[in-house]
Structure 1
Amino acid sequence: MKVIVESFTMDHTKVKAPFVRKCGNIQTPRGDVITKYDLRFTQPNVDAMPTGAVHALEHLMAGYLREEIEDIVDISPMGCRTGFYLIKIGESTEEEIAKGLIATLKKVIVSDEIPALNPVQCGNYRDMSLFGGKEYAKEVLAKLEEIYK
């Protein structure tokens, strides 16, 4: 492969999760900036979230994160199930993104339902765990609140 994939250049054995990391941006031909952030929940190669928890978090954060952070294009789970990628128009500091994520996780923890949990709005609606998503949200929230006091 000749294309350099940014996430492949990071040494996954040296990072300490959870964290928020700006991992790149591009400028469009019209001059807009699109920025990508690594929202890491679990320690790479040590822990991975089960798919049901990841899927529930994806659905919950899709709305809640947009309430906290403007101009989000997408929030997508990582294939390794250790976190999510956030893509937004413009640039924000890692601290601004972390504060938005903290507020989002607080909303996840008190949620009593998963949005779009049906066959019309989701392609795999049976594979979700509200309990699991909330447990990971609690764990990550506690650690992020220590980091971003």
Structure 2
Amino acid sequence: MADVESFQLDHTKVLAPYVRLIGAETGPKGDVITNFDVRLVQPNEQEIPTAGLHTIEHLMASLIRDRIDGMIDFSPFGCRTGFHMIMWGEHSSEEIAKVIKASLEAIVNTIEWSDVPGTTIESCGNYRDHSLWTAKEWSALILERGISSDPFIRKVI
């Protein structure tokens, strides 16, 4: 089996919340894709409840694209501690951390239920499993802790 970088990371050494550049890959035509670990809560100590994580995922899909060009995907980790963020081009962890912070601030301060995309049976594969209240609660906790641009040393942006 192929080695997966994320499974090589010592999850007992990281200090969440943080943004970590997992890697950059250059395609055959020279296009660069970067992959980030957007860790919102401490691994093996906390996990965001599924309904809140699902709502954060749907909101971030739009909020991030409003704040930076080139996002390909923002997908939750199965462990419910954060997300993979895939981007076109090369970006720094600090740049992405600022975008994540601004997007979480929007969830806490301005988002209402009518703003959450993809919450109907036609637009979501599990439309009944959403919670804006939980998304707001966890986003506020994450912001209170501060988002670091380094996974091992707290460099809060």
Q: Which moved more, 1:125-134 or 1:139-148?
A: 139-148
Q: Of 130, 133, 136, which residue of structure 2 is paired with 1:131?
A: 133
Q: Which residue of 2 aligns with 1:12?
A: 11
Residue 142 of structure 1: how far off its partner (Å): 2.2
Q: Which residue of 1 aligns with 2:63?
A: 64
Structure 2 residue runs without a partner (length 5+): 149-154
Where do residues 60-99 of structure 1 align in structure 2 (5 Å cutoff)? 60-99=59-98
Provide the identity percentage: 45
**Is the 1:27–1:34 Cα contact (8 Å) retained in structure 2?**
yes
Measured in 2, the distance between the counterparts of 1:69 and 1:40 equals 19
Measured in 2, the distance between the counterparts of 1:145 and 1:125 equals 29
Please report the TM-score for the alignment, with normalisation by the length of structure 1.
0.95
**Is the 2:16–2:147 Cα contact (8 Å) retained in structure 1?**
no
Where do residues 23-34 of structure 1 align in structure 2 (5 Å cutoff)? 23-34=22-33
Superposition CA RMSD, Å: 1.2
**Is the 2:19–2:147 Cα contact (8 Å) retained in structure 1?**
no
Q: Which residue of 2 aligns with 1:118?
A: 120
Measured in 2, the distance between the counterparts of 1:96 and 1:145 equals 12
- Relative contact order (C-alpha < 8 Å, sep 6+): which is higher? 2
Please report the TM-score for the alignment, with normalisation by the length of structure 2.
0.90
